[in-house]
Amino acid sequence: MEDMSLAHGLTRFLHILLFVYWLGGDAGVFYSSKFVINPKLSKDARMTAAKIFVDLDMIPRYCMALMLTVGGVLAEIIGISHPAWEMAAILLLGPFWLGMVLVVHAKEGSAAGETLKRVDIWFRWIVIVSIIVSVVHSHWTGRLDGLEWFSAKLLLFAFLVFCGLMIRRNLPPFVQGFRTLATTGPTPESDRLMIDSMARCRPYVLLIWAGVALSALIGILKPTLS
């Protein structure tokens, strides 16, 4: 039986929960979206599916926001140390990111909400670049020698954030079509906008599913190149 501290066990448990709810929640979002864009259903049925779609969509967002912080703490516990400033940034990142997700959702549809969305997008690009630079620098200095699995998980996370941004980029036509559905009722044009938008998002959704599952597998196997 593996010997571990309570902190290690609880942090690992939380890390696993984030994977489970990220992947499971994302699957639920994708499944419910099929009912939102189905022109054969009534407006009321599609609006009910849309509420489920929106509410479920928050769960993967929460999980993504917290993943780096929980993963960073777990890495520290198992011996992948961080400088004090980096550990402080890791600890602050999760609450800050989660708070941003909550505020953006709460301000949805307002002028402040649109501004915050743009800030959120830039923040995610900064996260992507920061992860890549950190991994390259850590290998350049030898800090992560023999820890290729850890680097792979970090780079996979950056890729998942990128996929999320690409989904956002392809969502505006869906939003436009949904507004028509919610106000005046569905039209052939609004249905086409939503269906085409979801079709463009689908490859990135599938890549996120594959990436989350692969990241979990890497964390279990911990393969190295040595």
Per-residue pLDDT at 35: 96
Report the C-alpha gap between 52 and 46 in whole angstroms. 10
Nearest alpha carbon to residue 131 among 144, 118, 146: 144
Chain mean pLDDT for the chain: 93
Per-residue pLDDT at 147: 92
Q: Is the pLDDT of residue 225 over 80?
A: no
pTM, to two decimals: 0.93
- Residue 77 contacts by C-beta under 8 Å, 6 or more apart in sequence? 5, 7, 8, 11
